[in-house]
């Protein structure tokens, strides 16, 4: 497939809607500042984020292992841990069946490493995306039987795999499902289902990624066998990477996992993670949630999308530095290939969107021959950002199309697809992302139905990109000291985004200029030296700006590292003249 390298992104009719914070309760903020001995600006942000009491604010700012819940609170854990202890003691084969995304690969690797450290016989397995399809399926059943498995443990899948579970039970194999996806109905009948989101589970934290669930399982099994709990906590680098990559909310237990896991990731004891950090150019740098999510995770995702995800599991479970380095280099090459595919498909998808009447199209379904089903989800995410509408992209091949959808905050994608289920062969996912399989001849019918559902549920105001502001500041307040204080709110991600600041009436100290890849560079005037700023995806808006003219800017403060020097810069989300 060939396509031009760049294309103009489609644009919605209206500018972004800025959602401003509520007026602060000055007395409450002052009380918080007095109790915590922190600056008013920081306490205004804490208050805006809902941390109005000192105890809650301290718990947020200082995540501790003591905040983690007892694994035994997971419904089904006692039966699962008991059976796995028995399997390890008897020398039975434990077959760990994961998914082909980052969460699935890391969860598979975590259980494999933890159980092998206890002397267990473990066979890891991840299905091939294109050949085997998603979830625990007959491919997994055949592989488990061939491995001589006595127990199958799923990781990041299995909640809806009724047929495969029945097949495994018929073969005399016990099944333990560990997952975090929302059940669409009754869970399969098996030895145990570990999923905090199943209706009868009273586990307090429903936001765990699959890696968080298997961490709890591994910890309980290790405790029962008298193993080293420290070795399990040493696997939090895998949990952190999975949690960030799966866009799980960074609050509650996930905040603890990611805060400590990122520290481990920077100097991981895992040869595969070390090799990936080295190959990606992050060696010696601070591993933030952003870098984990946007630099490391795509390399693992690439092998799951366009290769064989078992290579990712091999990377994360190998003890050989040489093997780790070789696989990490392969992943680098695969990620570059994946990026080329992304760009080519994005150009084609933008062209298709450009032919639509966006006044009448609230939910978008695009389909084409030759699109790679492993990367269309990434492209769908880009389109959602650009057109502020739910998007499903379908890769056609033979009699069927395999699709991947992404959504806006106002539209529950899984629920919307459920209203289209009679025109779909299969679908699954959650509120923000989902997958579908549709017969080729029904793609047009699906597109019409999906748009009708979206039009019924959405208002025109929902189709305008939202920019949420956390705090209004003076541009002179943006200093290295402020950036340092805001870092106490890390890790940033879903559920705890990097603070968005608004500065009004800012003058540009020099003419702005366009950068490659649709970027815009500007310098914001402030007392003393100007503040460097960059707005990615905004080069087409250069004509809106007048050098020296006042502008309101929404931005995030970040530390820029260049040739060994660090400085504060603004990453602009949006601006208005």
Give 1's pLDDT tier (boundaries 50, 70, 90).
very low
Whether 545 shows a pLDDT value over 90: the answer reads no
Whether 461 shows a pLDDT value over 70: the answer reads yes
pLDDT at residue 10 in the model: 58
Q: Which whole number is the average pLDDT over 515-534?
A: 89
Q: Are 196 and 47 in contact (CB under 8 A)?
A: no
pLDDT at residue 5 in the model: 46
Distance CA 431, CA 285 (A): 34
Q: Are 322 and 282 in contact (CB under 8 A)?
A: no
Distance CA 450, CA 440 (A): 16
Of 310, 369, 312, nearest in space to 335 by CA: 312
Q: Which whole number is the average pLDDT over 368-382?
A: 91
Of 419, 376, 423, 410, nearest in space to 395 by CA: 376
Whether 11 shows a pLDDT value over 60: the answer reads no
Whether 2 shows a pLDDT value over 50: the answer reads no
HEC string of 213-280 equals HHHHHHHHHHHHCCCCHHHHHCCHHHHHHHHHHCCCCCCCHHHHHHHHHHHHHHCCCCHHHHHHHHHC
Structure tokens at 204: 């307090």
Using DSSP, state whether 484 is helix, strand or coil. Answer: helix
To which residue do tokens 């998603």 refer?
Answer: 134
Domains within the chain, CATH numbers bracketed? 17-22+469-576 (2.40.50.460), 69-333 (3.90.1640.30), 356-464 (3.10.310.30)
Whether 100 shows a pLDDT value over 60: the answer reads yes
pLDDT tens-place string over residues 127-165: 998 788 778 999 999 999 999 999 999 999 999 999 999
pLDDT tens-place string over residues 550-569: 999 999 999 877 666 778 99
Give 9's pLDDT tier (boundaries 50, 70, 90).
low
Q: For residue 339, give every residue at least 6 positions away whose Cβ sits within 8 Å of its Cβ, in sequence order, or none.
A: none
pLDDT at residue 3 in the model: 40
Instruction: Please give the model's pTM, rounded to 2 decimal places.
Output: 0.89
pLDDT tens-place string over residues 400-413: 999 999 999 899 99
Give 14's pLDDT tier (boundaries 50, 70, 90).
low
pLDDT at residue 564 in the model: 66
pLDDT tens-place string over residues 184-198: 789 999 999 999 999
Which residue stretches of 361-500 are H helix? 376-387, 413-418, 443-457, 480-486
Q: Which whole number is the average pLDDT over 478-506?
A: 93
- Strand bridging mode 513-515 / 519-524: antiparallel
State the virtual CA torsion across 147, 148, 152, 153 in degrees, nearest 10. -50
Structure tokens at 425: 């062969």
- What is the C-alpha end-to-end distance of the chain, expressed in Å? 41
Q: Angle, to 10 degrees, between the axis of helix 210-224 and the axis of helix 236-245?
A: 160
Q: Which whole number is the average pLDDT over 172-192?
A: 94
């Amino acid at each position: 497939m060939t396509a031009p390298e760049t294309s103009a992104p489609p644009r919605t009719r209206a500018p972004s809607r800025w959602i401003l914070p509520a007026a602060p309760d000055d007395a409450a903020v002052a009380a918080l500042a007095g109790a915590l001995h922190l600056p008013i600006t920081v306490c205004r942000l804490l208050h805006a984020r809902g941390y109005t009491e000192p105890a809650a604010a301290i718990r947020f700012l200082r995540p501790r292992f003591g905040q983690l819940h007892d694994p035994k609170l997971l419904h089904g854990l006692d039966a699962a841990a008991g059976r796995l202890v028995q399997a390890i003691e008897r020398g039975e084969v434990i077959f760990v069946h994961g998914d082909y995304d980052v969460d699935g690969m890391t969860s598979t690797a975590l259980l494999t490493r933890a159980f092998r450290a206890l002397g267990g016989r473990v066979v890891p397995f991840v299905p091939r995306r294109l050949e085997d399809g998603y979830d625990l399926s007959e491919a997994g059943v055949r592989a488990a039987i061939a491995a001589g498995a006595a127990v199958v443990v799923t990781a990041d899948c299995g909640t809806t795999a009724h047929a495969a579970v029945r097949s495994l039970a018929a073969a005399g194999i016990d099944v333990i499902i560990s997952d975090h996806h929302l059940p669409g109905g009754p869970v399969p009948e098996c030895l145990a289902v570990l999923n905090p989101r199943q209706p009868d589970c009273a586990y307090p934290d429903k936001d765990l990624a699959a890696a968080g669930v298997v961490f709890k399982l591994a910890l309980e099994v290790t405790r029962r066998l008298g193993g080293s709990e420290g070795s399990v906590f040493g696997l939090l680098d895998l949990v952190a990477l999975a949690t960030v990559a799966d866009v799980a909310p960074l609050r509650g237990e996930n905040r603890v996992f990611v805060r400590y896991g990122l520290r481990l990731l920077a100097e991981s004891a895992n040869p595969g993670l070390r090799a990936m950090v080295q190959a990606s150019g992050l060696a010696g740098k601070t591993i933030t949630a952003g870098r984990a999510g946007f630099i490391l995770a795509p390399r693992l995702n690439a092998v799951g999308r366009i290769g064989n995800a078992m290579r990712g599991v091999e990377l994360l479970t190998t003890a050989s530095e040489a093997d780790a380095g070789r696989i990490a280099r392969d992943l680098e090459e695969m990620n570059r290939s994946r990026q080329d595919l992304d760009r080519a498909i994005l150009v084609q998808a933008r062209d298709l969107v450009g032919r639509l009447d966006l006044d009448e199209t609230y939910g978008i379904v695009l389909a084409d021959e030759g699109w790679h089903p492993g990367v269309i989800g990434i492209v769908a995410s880009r389109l959602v950002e650009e057109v502020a509408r739910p998007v499903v992209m379908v890769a056609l091949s033979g009699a069927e199309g395999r699709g991947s959808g992404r959504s806006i905050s106002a539209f529950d994608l899984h629920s919307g697809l459920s209203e289209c289920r009679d025109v779909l062969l299969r679908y699954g996912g959650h509120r923000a992302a989902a997958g579908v399989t549709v017969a080729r001849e029904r793609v047009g019918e699906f597109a019409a139905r999906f748009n009708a559902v979206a039009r019924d549920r959405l208002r025109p105001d929902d189709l305008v990109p939202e920019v949420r502001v956390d705090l209004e500041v003076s541009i002179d307040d943006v200093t290295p000291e402020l950036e340092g204080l805001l870092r106490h709110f890390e890790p940033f991600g879903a559920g705890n985004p990097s603070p968005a600041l608004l500065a009004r009436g800012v003058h540009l100290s020099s003419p702005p200029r366009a950068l490659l890849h649709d970027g815009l560079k500007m310098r914001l005037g402030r007392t003393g030296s100007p503040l460097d700023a960059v707005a990615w995806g905004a080069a087409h808006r250069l004509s809106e700006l007048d050098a020296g003219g006042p502008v309101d800017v929404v931005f995030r403060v970040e530390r820029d590292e260049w040739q060994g020097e660090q400085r504060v810069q603004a990453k602009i989300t949006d601006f208005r003249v």
